[in-house]
Amino acid sequence: MQTHFSLTINGQQTAGDAGQFDVLNPATETVVASAPLASVDQLDQAVEAAAEAFTSWQHTPDAERQALLHSIADVIAANANELAEIIVLEQGKPMFLAHAEVTGAVAWTRYNADLPIPVDIIEDSEHKRIEAHHKPLGVVASITPWNWPLMIAIWHIMPALRTGNTVVCKPSEYTPLNTIRLVELINQVLPAGVLNVVTGQAEIGGAISSHPGISKIVFTGSTPTGQRIMSSAATNLKRLTLELGGNDAAIILPDVDVDAVAEGIFQTAFLNMGQTCAALKRLYVHDDIYDALCNKLVELAQAQVVGNGMDAEVTFGPVQNANQLKIVTTLVDDAKAQGARILCGGEQLAGPGYFFPPTLVADITDGTRLVDEEQFGPVLPIIRYQDVEEALARANAADVGLGGSIWSADIDTATQLANRLECGTAWINGHAEVLPHAPFGGCKMSGFGVEFGEQGMLEYTRLQVININK
């Protein structure tokens, strides 16, 4: 892995005017590398470079942009090992999951490359033709979180480039290295200024939100930060796509085969150590199968190998940062104080690193912080219910609505219940599955706008109607 990391502005690598900051390995609490600390002036330079590049990039022939995205996918694939290593060192996930993230990034890039930009014909009569075209917006800012640093950057960047926009990226200060390297690699393919990266902390994020030269912000992260972005973006009526926090509920009906569904429930709850926006975070289980499912989930949790993601045998890495570990610990301690039963895990492991084993909490219900608040970590509360209508009401009582799921052997019944979940995506016999061709977004306090598929791509465009009198 390289040891020197720089900003990329107008195709050039440059040091941060405001100095540097250390990036820690969450498995060892040691410094991985230093990242450049950009100044607001350097953000202005990046936006200016992107705006200048937009004047020509927006007119690049569609087929050429498609070919360039495929070239980007080639470059990512050729550097997969390096990118995966950076992910593990700064984010903490096991190596197999980091490689899956890189593989997914390549596939997502190719999907966007091949996605056509539609021209909708509203009328085509003897005397009139009306066409609806989708035009790029200008400079798009991408603000990404620390849980999937490569994949979410790709989710933001590729549809923006595909539709003719230019981009300024601002990754999380916890995991900036992967995005820095990704932008360097992509700049081997793209014209200067089309894709830029600035790294820093709250000052840079705030300056992006209110920057008059930015036409759109796509943000993945917490609801409070999304609210601040939305407020600041009003200065020039920026377009926004906000994918914010969730507290996804799953309802397990009594007709399921416990042995058949337990693995899927466990993996979608503890995906990336539970640090996934759409992970299963509240598990409502019918009384008839409650104890059996709890026991099976404990078996799966205790089979995990917790440790440094660079070790080949590890299946479960650390919490990414000390602040998030404190949140997880606080919620578990509160659950214990409220009388909940810890089935396994429940405490930070001794030694260096932010390790918290997969933790299952039973005999808990709504009104406890661990159920009502998003834990975003390796802890799953398991709530007993007897009446499915009661479970549905509990699931919908949250002020967030990203995802939810129903698990049942009866697909018709499950579909009827899924239609009543108040969330952006409702899965049946699964959870947390995001696909490049299926729009994904939340409702309520989980944000607005969608990503993925044609609908997600078109969020990076404005509509222009061409009205032709023949």
Return the axis-axis angle of helices 149-162 and 95-114, rounded to nearest 10°: 10
Tell me the average pLDDT across 28-35. 97
pLDDT above 90 (res 267): yes
Chain centroid, CA 261 distance in Å: 25
In this prediction, residue 432 carries a pLDDT of 97
pLDDT above 90 (res 201): no
- 277 in catalytic set: yes
In this prediction, residue 386 carries a pLDDT of 98
> How confident is the prediction for the chain on average, in pLDDT?
97
Query: How confident is residue 60, by pLDDT bands cut at 50, 70 and 90?
Result: very high
- 422 in catalytic set: no
Specify the amino acid at residue 74.
D
Which residue, among 74, 53, 226, has the nearest Cα to 136 in the 3D structure?
53
Q: Which is catalytic among the residues 101, 173, 243, 374?
A: 243
pLDDT digits (tens, 9 = 90+) for 390-434: 999 999 999 999 999 999 999 999 999 999 999 999 999 999 999
pLDDT digits (tens, 9 = 90+) for 153-177: 999 999 999 999 999 999 999 999 9
Q: Is 365 left (phi over 0), alpha (psi -120 to 50) or beta?
A: beta
Tell me the average pLDDT across 453-459. 98
pLDDT above 90 (res 4): no
In this prediction, residue 341 carries a pLDDT of 98
In this prediction, residue 196 carries a pLDDT of 98
Q: Which residues contact 238 (CB under 8 A, 6 or more apart)?
A: 214, 215, 216, 217
Query: How confident is residue 191, by pLDDT bands cut at 50, 70 and 90?
Result: very high
Q: Nearest 5 degrees, angle CA 375-CA 100-CA 109? A: 105
CA dihedral 176, 178, 181, 182 (to 10 degrees): -110
pLDDT above 90 (res 1): no
pLDDT digits (tens, 9 = 90+) for 149-159: 999 999 999 99
**Percentage of residues in the chain with pLDDT exceeding 70?**
100
Show the DSSP H helices in 247-351 as ranges. Answer: 258-269, 290-302, 322-337
pLDDT above 90 (res 202): no
- Cα gap 371→388, rounded to integer Å: 18
pLDDT above 90 (res 144): yes
Contact present, 151 and 100 (Cβ < 8 Å):
no
Q: Nearest 5 degrees, angle CA 7-CA 12-CA 14? A: 40
pLDDT above 90 (res 323): yes
pLDDT above 90 (res 3): no
Q: Is 99 left (phi over 0), alpha (psi -120 to 50) or beta?
A: alpha
Tell me the average pLDDT across 381-392. 98
Phi, psi for residue 412 in degrees, rounded to 5: -65, -45
pLDDT above 90 (res 2): no
pLDDT above 90 (res 107): yes
Q: Which is catalytic among the residues 90, 169, 184, 277?
A: 277
pLDDT above 90 (res 69): yes
Any bridge partners for residue 24, and if so which?
31
